[in-house]
Amino acid sequence: MLNIVLFGPPGAGKGTQSERLIAKFGLTHISTGDLLRSEIANQTELGLSAKKLMDVGQLVPDETVIGMISNKLSANMGSAGFIFDGFPRTVAQAEALDQLLQEHATEIVLMIALEVAPDELIKRLVKRGETSGRTDDNEETARKRIDVYNKETSPVANYYKEQDKYFAVDGIGSMDEIFDRITSVINKQTILNS
């Protein structure tokens, strides 16, 4: 089973590349934001408890998020694998994800980190804000989001480096060039792991 953690700062192109990876490798997309919205809309027990917390401005605890991921895994075990988008964000979440995947007799195969220089990210985010109308894609907010990303994810990157599962990919170039770099890393790793 091909399980990938796709990382990258805001504006790195994760959304674009994850769509292409899903199509090429037959992966199931797991985005914690999408899961939360789905569980809340379906009024599941996990969704209702998450909504109570969110309604009062609290973060949803890791256990709840892991429970939602577990449900998604169980419902899609026939998939060729999973692509985790924006999760895990902490080492505790990475450890919990590893434990959950072990319970399903699988594991993360690799973590792909799209690397893009901060000035390029800001340029991309500001442009996206102009074309999409996203008010959070302005220069000041973009800089803050990039700083938070760098502080949050550095320990997670190290966690996967220690397991020899971390692979940095240059996120500059055309969508096709970046996709080719990503698939090259995946193909090399799946050959080595088979």
- Positions annotated as catalytic residues are 14, 89, 128, 134, 145
Angstrom distance (rounded) from CA 60 to CA 186: 32
CA neighbor of 181 nearest in space, from 3, 31, 28, 20: 20
Give every CB contact of residue 30 below 8 A, 6+ residues apart in sequence. Answer: 69, 72, 73, 82, 83, 84, 85, 87
Give every CB contact of residue 157 below 8 A, 6+ residues apart in sequence. Answer: 7, 111, 113, 166
| Residues 147, 169, 13, 93, CA torsion sign | negative
| Residues 41, 54, 122, 168, CA torsion sign | negative
DSSP 3-state percent helix, strand, coil across the chain (nearest 5): 60, 15, 25
